[in-house]
Structure 1
């Protein structure tokens, strides 16, 4: 099925990217997509919002609700356990681990989110137990997720939709953006059985010096974070209808490639504490 893309650019620039995809017959499908979400943590450093997070989304909920799909990148785990975090062994100042109380999932649901990406470098902050707790918590809240090898499936007004998550981390975290040929095959297979394929990816360098998208492999803190331009364009050419990027923690460029939107980084959206949000001085 062919989809035409209509993008209210102002909303995209205000961190709420809301493409409207028009299928044959002009039946619109609206998607609201935002960047990184970390609602508070009880990890190696505790930072929880007042009032148990009840007001976290109050200024934006009205803009989120109402779309067919409301998407965000969930940084960290949803868990109430006592799992050992990755920073117990890694004492580097660059080690960050995030564990959000499971009850905070209700804030996502109440604000309209029905799908989140967990294909990122914080999904396994508290090991396999923390990852499983995240999957179970999201399922109980009625929120689908894309990450690991989990795909998010929807059927909306007779249209079959799938969201797939890719990351630069090893395969246990997600499909890999480093294996572009494999990514192309995955997207082709998904497109053969779905009307709409949405690809979410976590990649690229981080911080204010990484605002410009480079058509090359990006290395950050010694890790190969992938060539996000080559990856994104390749999956579009394989059949992806929308590509949503995150990881750099800053806004990056968007482009329309072969009629499909690529957002290279939607930046930070709601990150309570523990994130450096200072802009250029």
Structure 2
């Protein structure tokens, strides 16, 4: 049995005491064997306009890594849309390496970007893989001989509304699907990871803000579980989305934001989840709601606020035929372990 705590999007900047960034969450993080978050933005330092197509973005200073080390974060995904350009991805990876934090989802070439981070606890090995569907189409994806992120891209098409002939102007229906070559590569990565580890956790940066899932999210998630992953953990929309149990294993479509300092996010997309996971013969998944407060500090919710946040997750998950039981400020996902 191995216990994990998983968080969503984390951005660290502008802190005079970064070692305190996760302090309000310390009691929730400290008891796990492994702690994971998505690191939204490389710790490479800022060079003015770090991302030309996202001019208000600034990469984080390397010294912000102390937020992760003080919180005991063991492994992070670096596969996301702001891990750009590749030189920043490599510089940020070097900072994580010096701090002793494992990472996955980017590297000096495609093989390195698609390689799992494998961590051992109590004689059991957990492989973490990470991919991003949110990706600049030129120069960000790792290729056979060039650095970048591990991409899991999707096609987008627009289907006319069935009533467009009699009601002109009705909006098109958006249809999405995984790019077949990328899907095949992700599935192959999961198969390989299963041979090297007892458990496989796959991180996906994907989706759109709001309650609704895109079709490609479901397509990737189901294929990853069917390939043998124990868990899919999603992030990227900056909002909490549904949990689904597929073939007895959990898909967390989006955990929302955790600690998030980017100034443009102040006062926006405040809610997130921490997921407590037990991997083993008797799997368990618990959800703890968190929210950034008026000072932009991420704190656990309690009382009626926690109940309301969990009811929303339960309602979204019911759309995926998954039941989340709520009690004492914690949501428990039912149906795990059944084939």
TM bucket (normalised to shorter chain) is 0.7 to 0.9
Among 50, 56, 63, the alignment partner of 1:103 is: 63
Aligned counterpart, 2:264: 274
Q: Distance in 2 between matches of 1:111 and 1:253?
A: 27
Question: Which contiguous aligned blocks of 4+ residues in structure 1 show a shift greater than 4 angstroms?
Answer: none
Aligned counterpart, 1:259: 248
State the Cα distance separating 1:86 from its structure 2 match: 1.7
State the Cα distance separating 1:182 from its structure 2 match: 2.0
Q: Does 1:203 align with 2:193?
A: no
Aligned counterpart, 2:101: 143
State the Cα distance separating 1:240 from its structure 2 match: 0.3
TM-score under structure 1 normalisation?
A: 0.74
Cα distance change of structure 1 residues 275 and 53 upon mapping to structure 2, 3 Å threshold = same
Aligned counterpart, 1:160: 125
Q: Where does 1:3-152 land on structure 2 (aligned, <5 Å)?
A: 28-40=1-13, 48-49=14-15, 51-80=16-45, 82=47, 85-87=50-52, 90=53, 95-124=55-84, 127-148=85-106, 149=113, 150-152=115-117
Q: Distance in 2 between matches of 1:254 and 1:136?
A: 34
Residue 135 of structure 1 aligns to a residue in which SS?
Answer: helix
Consecutive unaligned residues in structure 2, runs of 5 or more:
107-112, 136-140, 143-147, 154-177, 271-339
Contact 1:120 1:173 in 2 (8 A): yes
Cα distance change of structure 1 residues 106 and 116 upon mapping to structure 2, 3 Å threshold = same
Q: Distance in 2 between matches of 1:112 and 1:118?
A: 17
Residue 176 of structure 1 aligns to a residue in which SS?
Answer: coil
Q: Distance in 2 between matches of 1:174 and 1:73?
A: 14
Q: Distance in 2 between matches of 1:156 and 1:195?
A: 11
> How many residues in Structure 1 have an aligned counterpart in Structure 2?
224
Q: Where does 1:185-200 land on structure 2 (aligned, <5 Å)?
A: 185-200=188-203
Cα distance change of structure 1 residues 186 and 96 upon mapping to structure 2, 3 Å threshold = farther
Residue 140 of structure 1 aligns to a residue in which SS?
Answer: helix
TM-score under structure 2 normalisation?
A: 0.62
Q: Distance in 2 between matches of 1:234 and 1:34?
A: 23
Q: Distance in 2 between matches of 1:29 and 1:175?
A: 28
Max radius of gyration: which structure?
A: 2
Residue 91 of structure 2 aligns to a residue in which SS?
Answer: helix
Cα deviations across residues 135-189 of structure 1 (Å, max 9, x unaligned)? 0111111110111214211122221221000111334311425421221122112
Residue 113 of structure 1 aligns to a residue in which SS?
Answer: coil
